[in-house]
Amino acid sequence: MNNPQLPLGLVLRDSARFECFFGGQNSEIVAALQQAARGAGECFIYIAGLAGMGKSHLLQAACRRATDAGRSSAYLPLDARAELTPDVLAGLEQMDLVCLDDVHAIAGDAPWERGVFDLFNRMRAAGSTLLVAGRQRPDLAGFGLPDLASRLAWGVTFVLKPLAEADVLAALSWHAHRRGLELPAGTAHFLLKRMPRDLPSVFDLLDRLDEASLVEQRRLTVPFVKSVLGLE
């Protein structure tokens, strides 16, 4: 099997799997991405959503699923373009799956916009699968190259919906269980009322509490969580 191609020594987040994305109203998006990762369904998908809604999680999960299916893949976060040049896009059409994250970050950057435009055309000709994520739909992203916006709108565009309280609670409980943490229901509800309702925040918070629990050999009671997080 091929491992995902990653720039800058980036490592896919271990929790970035479809199994731990509690999508709620986004189940159609998850299903479409799972198909695309396996080489079925749509060959081009654009995902729009604000920061913290799980775009990076889903793209990285798609890379993992492609690897499990024996397909080659590449994940490229375009918000890291300051450390890269558009040359990194050369040859990516040879991959079975390419995931471009944070495409809004290149809006107004002519060399990068042209590079992504050319990559889209090469991947279309090669029959490869391209998944792109950005904060806005292609027509609202502010690209200076009109042809790029039109190309990115050629495939299926999904707009992520915010996670409901039950979805965030499920993600919190699942991640705690996966780490071997005992998270009492009362503590979970306490956290839910005091944390942002996005997956990165859920996972980062559990990592922090896990470390504190191991160091102090304490259970995740509400008083202990309050002391760790500095809450009243």
Which tens digit of pLDDT belongs to each residue from 156-191? 999 999 877 887 788 788 778 877 888 888 888 888
State residue 163's pLDDT score. Answer: 78
In this prediction, residue 1 carries a pLDDT of 45
Q: Which of 3, 135, 140 is nearest to 68 (CA)?
A: 3
Distance CA 85, CA 88 (A): 6
Residue ranges of domains in the chain, CATH in brackets: 18-159 (3.40.50.300), 165-229 (1.10.8)
pLDDT of residue 156: 95
SS3 assignment, position 229: helix
Listed residue (146, 221, 211) closest to 180, CA to CA: 211
pLDDT < 50 regions, the chain:
1
pLDDT of residue 10: 67
Residue 78: which of 100, 111, 53 has the closest Cα? Answer: 100
C-alpha–C-alpha distance, residues 35 and 104, integer Å: 25
Q: What values do phi and psi take at 39, rounded to 5?
A: 90, 15
SS3 content of the chain, % helix, strand, coil (to 5): 55, 10, 35
- What pLDDT, on the 0 to 100 scale, is given for residue 215? 87
Cα separation, 87 vs 231, in Å, equals 47
E strands present in the chain = 44-48, 73-77, 97-101, 129-134, 156-159
